[in-house]
Structure formats: C-alpha cells, structure tokens
Chain A
Amino acid sequence: MKRFGKTAVGICLLLAVWQLAVMSGIWSTYVLPPPAKVASSLLAMMRDGTLWKHILISMRRVLIGFGIAFGLALLCGMAARGLPRLEEYYGSFLEFMRHVPPISLIALLILWFGIGETSKIIIIVLASFFPMYLNIRQGFVSADRKLLEVGTVFGLSRWQRFCRIVVPCAIPDILVGMRIGLGYSWRAIIGAEMIAAASGLGYLILDAQQMSRSDRVIAGILTIGVVGVLCDWLFRILIQRWQRYGD
C-alpha cells in the first residue's frame, strides 16, 4: 500500500508538471495537449471500442509470436542441454542473428511475406526468441550438478533426471526469459505495426499522428505502457510464486 501511495504521488507530480508545461504556453496544445484532453480521448476510444479492438489485435499478434518464440527457445535450450554437439552447428548462426535488429529485416519480410500477419509475427518471434533462448539455455545448462547426482544415486533415467531435476532448476531462468521476451515482443510489434499495418496499437499511434491528433498519440503510448506493465506484473507474480520456497 505504501508503494502504491508513492507511485500515485509520482504520477500526480508528472501530471502537474505536464499541466504546468501546457499552461506556460511554450508549446501549442496541438504539440502538447493537456492531460484532460488526452484522458477524454482515451475514454472516448474506450467507449466506442476502438482502443479495445486495437489492443486485442496487438495482443493476439504478440501471443502468437511470443508462443512460437517460446516453443523454439525451449527446443533449442533443451537441445543445448541434451545434445551439446548439435549446438555447435546452430550456435554461431544464432549468435549472428542475435545481433541483427528484427526491425532491420522488415523490408525483406514484407517482400517475402507481404504486409499481412506473417511478417509481423516473424518480427515478434525474432525479437523475443533471443532473450528467452539465452535464459532458458542458461537454466538448462547450469542445472545443479550436485542435485543431478542425487538423481543418479536414486537410479533415475536421463529423461527422469531432466524432468524432475533439470526443469525445476531451470524454471526461474525460464520465467525471467519469458518476462524479458514478452517486453521485447511488445516493443517489436509496435514498431512493426507502425511500418506496415492497418490495425493494432502501433497503427493507432501512426494513424493519429497522420491525423494530427497528438492527444490520441499520447493515449496510445499510455495504453502500450499500461499493457506492458500489466503483463510484466503477471510474470513477476509467477516468478515470486515459484520462488516462494526461497523465503
């Protein structure tokens, strides 16, 4: 509750500074609309369903892309643990791709897959795969050797040791990877939607900018922030629930 109070004070201060800046007249209300106007635009978009529609479209893309990226990261992470020699074949390629910003590939992706859903989902996969893969791999590879020996002593098979020891050891790293990956997914989808889309939160912002509606641009940005914070909060709760044994 104390933390909530402090957060509320911080937000109030920010709103006050924003309002003061508007009232000072340095910037026109076209460039910097007052908080009240942004709030009323936000409410209007919520009432007529525009905002929910764009949120749901972006969220759907994020969930599909994030899900695919998670599946791939899990497979590659498991391969790194179970078949370390196989990793020697694909490791360098992954290392190379890790340094290529996904947005830089959008021109090629549009050329290959058009401006439909596929190119946007691929962008999300590329953006969220690497943080998840690196964390999942770390979790699987660094499973406590001493605990694995306990499994050996109890006569567990390799698969049983993986399921009963390696996976639980790796879960904190997997959850951290998912948390970071989800954040990257949101960043990537907004970028992709601003370049090639007819719907979604990125499109909402770009469309508002083209219509010179700064209030709607800010409302869109605030929505992205809130959705991101909510997703992150959910993951934080999951991580805390799993790590309750450490208390």
Chain B
Amino acid sequence: MEIRNLSKSYQVAGRRLDVLKHLNMKTDDRGITVVLGRSGCGKTTLLRLIARLEPADEGEILWEGSGKLGVIFQEPRLMPWLTAGDNILFGAGRKEQEKQEKLERLLKLTGLEGFEDAYPAQLSGGMQQRAALARALASDPDYLLMDEPFAALDYFTRRQMQKELLEVWRKEQKGVLFVTHSIEEALALGTKILILDGGVCRKEYDLTGYPYPRDLLDGDMIAIRKDIIEHIEEREETTL
C-alpha cells in the first residue's frame, strides 16, 4: 500500500486543524507496519482514511490486489445481540458450508473454541478483541488495519494478544498496518516502524532482520527505542 500526498483537516471551534499534511508513506505488504506516534498525531485519522470511513481532502491511497480490508478498532465493536460465532461471520459471505468451515478454523486460530455461542457481554476484553480479529479475518481481507486494538487491555493480556497476533500473522500471511502510541508494542510487533508526527511521516525503521519473539532488552532494541524517544522529544521541543 502506498500513500501519496495525503492531507486531512478538521474545523474545530471555528479553527482549521490540519491533522495530516501531504503525508507520503509505503507499508510492508507482507509484514507488520507499525505507525507510531503520540496521542493526537493523526494515527487514527490516517487509519480511518485508509479504511474509507472518511474522505481525504487531498492525496491518494494505492493498493496492490483488491484492496479488501479487515479493520480492528480500539474497541472490539462486536454486535451485542449476536453470539461470538455470528459476530465472527458478520461479513463472511453467504455460503453456509463455507461459513461453517471458516468459523471452525477461525475459532481455533483465535483460541475461542467453545465460546461461539457466548454473547459479547459474557466474554472478557481479550476474548472480545480476539473475536473482532477473527471477524476481520473472516472476510478474507488482503490487509488488516489495527487501531490500537490492545490499548484497553491490561499489561499481561496485551502481551498475550501481541503473541497471538504474531501467530495469526505467521499463519495467515497478510499485511498488517498497526497503529499504536506504545514504543514497546511497536518494537515487539513491527517489521517496519513509521514515526508519525505533525501530520507527516518523520522517520522509518526497518526491523525485518529481527526475529520474533523479540527481546526488548537486547542492545539493538534499546538503541532503536532511545532513538525513537529522542526523535519524538526533539520534535516536541522544536514545536514548543
């Protein structure tokens, strides 16, 4: 996926707020591209534009393949009146036989076997996010967009979900665009990290050479982490 010259602004209290300013970036089509930035830097806006939930003011988003997307939001956004199984199959097409096979595979993949008849209110936060991930995968997307999907989970569940996401990514071989404000999460997951700040892509890190699971206390990881922090803080000081 390639983004060219993408701009988006909003009117807030009568003032124009430029969120994305002629943004250019390219994602890793088979890897996990992490968009990292502080709160309010435009990460979610970028994802909403890619997901076609809002129109861009300017610019274009180019896809290889059909451009079919699976989106996982900050909240699971499951339909509360549907069971976990029906939620997973929400966008899965109409062929009954195919749907059943898909459901069984995805329940197994996301560790939700035995919970297909449970309603979202009966599932834990982590299980709800897994169901949301399974729902996104059920529509056979080319690309997964994830908007801070684990932000509301506790530390241990988040770590577990990160491991599970890597497992799903390995098995499904789909490109992932993952938005987060957590440097640890970006380092643990990304094959490519893009720093989004001030509406533009400030820096890019290629992590394809680092195998999973990653030791975040490893020398290289600490160096990248320091570099990211310095970069964001430096930019913050310039802005102030």
Q: Which A residues form the contact surface with B (CB < 8 A)? A: 146-147, 149-150, 152-156, 164-165, 168, 171, 242, 244-247
Q: Could you write out 12 A-B pairs with CB less than 8 Å apart?
A: A146-B75, A149-B53, A149-B77, A153-B53, A153-B69, A154-B91, A154-B139, A155-B91, A171-B81, A242-B81, A245-B119, A247-B122
B51 touches A153 (CB 8 A): yes
Residues of A within 8 A of B120 (CB): 245
- A49 to chain B minimum Cβ distance, whole angstroms, is 44
Bound CA span A246–B122, Å: 8
Query: Does A150 lie within 8 Å of B52, measured CB to CB?
Result: no
Given known A149-B53, A152-B53, A153-B51, contact A246–B91 (CB-CB < 8 A): no
A149-B53, A245-B119, A247-B121 as given contacts; A165 in contact with B79, CB under 8 Å: yes
Closest partner residue, chain B, to A245 (CB atom): B119
> Chain A residues near B77 (CB, 8 Å)?
146-147, 149-150
From B70, B80, B82, contact of A246 by CB (8 A): B80
Q: Does B200 contact A (CB under 8 A)?
A: no
Which residues 57-78 of B have a CB within 8 angstroms of A? 69-71, 73, 75, 77
Shortest Cβ distance from residue B127 to the other chain A in the assembled complex, whole angstroms: 15
> How would you classify the secondary structure of chain A's contact residues: helix, strand, loop or mixed?
helix
Asked if B169 is an interface residue, CB under 8 A from chain A, the answer is no
Pick from A146, A165, A242, A245: contact of B121, CB under 8 Å: A245
Query: With A153-B71, A154-B139, A155-B91 in contact, is A147–B79 under 8 Å at CB?
Result: yes
Q: Indicate if B90 sits at the interface (CB-CB under 8 A).
A: yes
Q: How far is the CA of A245 from the CA of B122 in the complex (A)?
A: 8
List, in ascending order, chain A residues with CB within 8 A of B75's CB: 146
Q: A244 to chain B: which residues have CB within 8 Å?
A: 119
Query: Interface size for chain B: under 10, 10 to 19, 20 to 34, or 35 or more residues?
Result: 20 to 34
Alpha-carbon gap, A111 to B69, bound state (A): 63
The 9 closest A-B pairs by CB, nearest first: A154-B91, A245-B119, A153-B71, A168-B81, A150-B77, A146-B77, A245-B81, A246-B121, A245-B80
A156 to B71, CA, bound (A): 14
Q: Which residues of A contact B139 (CB under 8 A)?
A: 154
Bound: A150/B145 CA distance, A: 13
A residues less than 8 Å from B70 (CB atoms): 153
A residues near B69, Cβ cutoff 8 Å: 153
Task: Return chain B residues, CB-CB under 8 Å to A155.
Answer: 91
User: Of all chain A residues, which has the CB nearest B48?
Assistant: A149
Residues of chain A with a CB closer than 8 A to B79's CB = 147, 150, 165, 168
Contact: A146 with B73, CB < 8 Å? Answer: yes
Q: How far is the CA of A242 from the CA of B82 in the complex (A)?
A: 11
Closest approach, in angstroms, between the C-beta of A140 and any C-beta of chain B? Answer: 15
Q: Is B53 a contact partner of A150 (Cβ separation < 8 A)?
A: no
User: Looking across the interface, which residue of chain A has its beta carbon closest to that of B119?
Assistant: A245
State whether A154 touches B53 (Cβ < 8 A): no
Cβ of A150: which chain B residues have Cβ within 8 Å of it? 71, 73, 77, 79, 90
Residues of A within 8 A of B91 (CB): 153-156
